A and B are shown apart, each in its own frame.
Chain A
Amino acid sequence: MGVATVTSTTGEAGANTVKGAGPAQLEVRGVTKAFPGCLANDDISFRIEPGEIHALLGENGAGKSTLVKIIYGVLQADEGELIWEGKPVTIASPHDAREMGIGLVFQHFSLFETMTVLENIALAMNDVRDMDALRKQVLEVEKTYGLPLDPDRHVYTLSVGERQRIEIVRCLLQNPKLLILDEPTSVLTPQEVEKLFETLRRLADEGCAILYISHKLHEVKALCQKATVLRGGKVVGGCDPREETAKSMAEMMIGQKLTAPDRGKSREFGDVRLAVSNLSLESDEQFGTDLKGINLEVRGGEIMGVAGVAGNGQNELFRALAGETEQQAAPDSIKIDGKSVAHFGPRRRRRLGATFVPEERNGHGAVPDMSLSENGFLTAFRRMALSARGLIREVPTKSFADNIIKTFDVRTTGSGAEAGSLSGGNLQKFIVGREILQDPGVLVISQPTWGVDAGAASAIHQALLDLAAKGTAVLVISQDLDEIYAICDSVVVMAEGKMSKPRPMADVSIEEIGLLMGGLHDLEGNATPANNTQVEGGRVGQA
């Protein structure tokens, strides 16, 4: 059925003269691209009309990024062609793409931290003009589209939202006819997302075609008029997101039914197992965030979510809890099962029954060049008794790794495979499994499903819920509010190194969390933000 939709879209190409519409802004015809060992794009065809906001959906590895790179001239297709405004074109480089009027807002920002906003913009412009003229243009575009930015500030001093604005301004300056956005909202607060959408809708009204890549399906539903779904490098369907549900689109993406995580019966919480009181810590990172008076308590059986825009102290919090930072704080500012541990390193904390899963899989959570069984040994050797008299006990070490692979359905060639050879989702399942199978009393996990496909994500969520059901205190640091809503019992929000008071998940709206993420702590409970909330909510509703 999906394929039929696509064929009919392509079929319109001939019919559009009858309708009186011009040629498509961009038509992709039969694009195929192979890499050694994988067919990233397999005969992909779709079209985008001028003024249309078109979503490109697909899981990690579905071939979205490859397709974007082909359209932007970073990669060349092996087969197939691109039709731009009715004419076949070759896009040999990003320079060509920009010349034609294609702008790209990158998923991982392509910015230079030590340079100013203006320099960053100048670097991405094709034609060299003098900086003063460029500055005027930048200020004009900022005014027109309501994207305030100081051209002379260094990028490293800017928030993620502001950084994204640079990318957008940089594209708008070239009067794009097609704007591609690759996962633009993954680092934004809900309010920032709504602002971005306003800008995009306005651009579309002016006739700019927009290709919007995201896995946040409710956003796609709110913004896009058309969607093309990729799976395994192929187009598997197309739809009108306004007429679908997030669930139906997700099922189209993964090609199977999606089951919501089973939260079980309402759980009873036990004693406090992880307690942080008045933890203040200077960041050891270059442009990091200092922690300011953090307080939280996680009880046995409870899953607490830490929400917040990236870079507001979550990394610092994780490192402080895991014992990776040298502690200047008082020993009793962190307690595991009532024991003061702030002056302990990671190994002594693990001995007390705490385990940790960091955000970065390769290089932090696992050693990429070592085998899975060696990686299993590294954090579990004490709790799982994998070592004796200073030597590695080979048999239990291997069977521990095999057990993780089996229990968590890690797709790999075996426990001897190098960690670096696994896909992101599989390695994440392995690392999460390694910590969960140690049967911890406290688990601190950062971005559990970041860059993980929907199938693996729901497996990880289920595993966390099951672990909590056994009485473990789980702290989930996540930027993904959907994830926090799906599994957490309570939530705290971090902004600028401070933490909001814990709130039960059931009594807190997504707008409230959004305002807290924006750093409005002082106004908590005040009447003014409540009004704002309604306004913001109203806008979301209109969308």
Chain B
Amino acid sequence: MFNYTLRRILTVVPTLLVLIIFSFYLMRLAPGGPFTSEKPLPPAVMKNVLERYGMDQPLYVQLWTYIKNIVFHFDFGPSFSQKDRTVNDVIAQGFPVTLTYGFWSAVFVLVLGIPLGIVAALRHNSFWDYTMTGLAIFSQIFPNFVLAPILVLLFTLSWGLLPGGGWNGGQWEYIIMPAIALGTSYMAGVARLTRGSMLEVLNAPFILTARSKGLPERTIIWRHALKPALLPTLTYMGPVFVYMITGSVFIDVFFSTGGIGQDFIDGAYSRDYAMLLGLAVLYSLLTFTLNLLLDLMYAWIDPKVRSNL
């Protein structure tokens, strides 16, 4: 298990390297640059600016310097568009915000989605099952960029219950809507998937064995059925985390949370190379970490996977 984890962590290094090199050259290929504007800068000023950010050097030297600074100083360089701030500063400020409501959103997805799916499966073909399946299908068709305006329309404009945006140091009323808007369709997906796999597991021969032992239904569900029923859900959570991370860019902008997504969008508009590259590295690290966690959980649940690690 330890070796496996170590191996996985070591594979990140070449992956990140490839990602940095590709993104670096791709961004430079796009027309325009951080200092292009409608009124061109005087040549002398331009020369000064380029020198300050090291952009007078050949591309491969710039790339080498960039990588060297990350490896030796964990420094992602100065932002090209936000004066006197480094990419590290920007991440340190915006990332905790995105991470906070992202975490609560994931909690919402799992804590609501899994029990809903289980209850629907246990009350198979009943009123509750139909209601929940219907609701799940209904909410699954709402992507976050449709749901977010609807939530604001209802909870802020109509009922005045929740603030329509902002962060205010992360008080709970500012977290609720971003978290729900980000998570709802995935919560519905988790509920439907859990229901389906629970139904399948309950028909498995080993559940009949458990019944023949005289175990009460509650024990059968908790001890025998839950683990295998959650495996497909766990697999599904891998891509869900990635979607949630990318989805958070929109949520940050829409709710003006001050999260990292806003900086990502701004960086893209202003060709802030350092910012974009830094955030690309951050997002891929996040994706990697979550996927590794999922795989380890998978191994924890499934003994067959464990013995193959």
Chains A and B bind each other: no
Residues of A within 8 A of B (CB): none
